[in-house]
Amino acid sequence: MTPDKNALRQSAKELRQHLYETEKDAAETIASIFPEKLYTRFGPVVAGYIAIGSELDPSPLLARLSDLGAQICLPRVEDDGSMTFRHVEGTGSLTAGPFGLTQPSAEAPLAAPTLVLTPMLAFDAQGNRLGYGKGHYDRALEKLRQNGRVFVCGLAYAGQIVPVIPAESTDIPLDWMVTETGSLPLFFGRAAGA
């Protein structure tokens, strides 16, 4: 029986909130164990995000990648509802966006990341990611892939794994996951030529 995505989103939000409150060192742990080979192979333009609510905070990892020479960009929801990635230099160029986002300003230069770090509500062992249901990441990733190689790495608490997430034809699966307990290759190389 296929789980209902809306019900799954609600239970995943509650679980992630619990993990956020109990797994206080997860973000630092992920920063320390993130496989440098992913950056070496799929960088140097890395898309991160600024955590909203109980999303796993990628800022320690982004700081580490920046020290390695990464060019960091962040997602921006544009006025037409599409999502782009834009280069950022510090927090001075950030602005409030829809859905509680903190995002680059419209003046920030467009970026074409080759390594994309994504937040989520849940994931499964087949590489499916449960987002908020708006499809912003899927459409943005599809557009990036039309122009070249993009490797998609999810960041989440280990407890966010679920048995199955119903996948639709427009869903872009993850290539890799990193949690506080380690890395999980998910169909590694499927879309990235690994």
Q: What is the mean pLDDT of residues 87-100?
A: 79
What is the pLDDT confidence band of residue 189, given thresholds at 50, 70 and 90? very low
Cis omega (within 30 of 0) for bond into 44: yes
Q: Are the beta carbons of 86 and 110 closer than 8 angstroms?
A: yes
> CA-CA distances (angstroms) from residue 127 to 22, 64, 72, 80?
25, 25, 24, 29
Q: pLDDT averaged over the chain?
A: 89
pTM, to two decimals: 0.90
pLDDT at 114: 96
Q: Select from 1.10.3720.10, 3.40.50.10420, 3.20.20.150, 3.40.225.10 the CATH code of 5-185.
A: 3.40.50.10420
pLDDT > 90: percent of the chain: 71
Q: How many whole angstroms separate alpha carbon 56 and alpha carbon 41?
A: 24
What is the pLDDT confidence band of residue 132, given thresholds at 50, 70 and 90? confident
Diameter over CA atoms, the chain: 48
pLDDT at 186: 58
pLDDT at 147: 87
Q: What is the mean pLDDT of residues 104-119?
A: 94
> CA-CA distances (angstroms) from residue 61 to 3, 36, 127, 187?
33, 11, 21, 23
- Which phi and psi (to 5°) does residue 71 adopt? -95, 110
Q: How many whole angstroms separate alpha carbon 113 and alpha carbon 117?
A: 10
In the chain, the amino acid numbered 155 is L
Q: Are the beta carbons of 83 and 101 closer than 8 angstroms?
A: no
Look at 49-58, 79-88, 99-108 and tell me which has the smallest mean pLDDT. 99-108
pLDDT at 90: 63
- Alpha helical stretches, state H, the chain: 5-22, 26-33, 36-42, 59-67, 136-146
Q: Are the beta carbons of 103 and 83 closer than 8 angstroms?
A: no
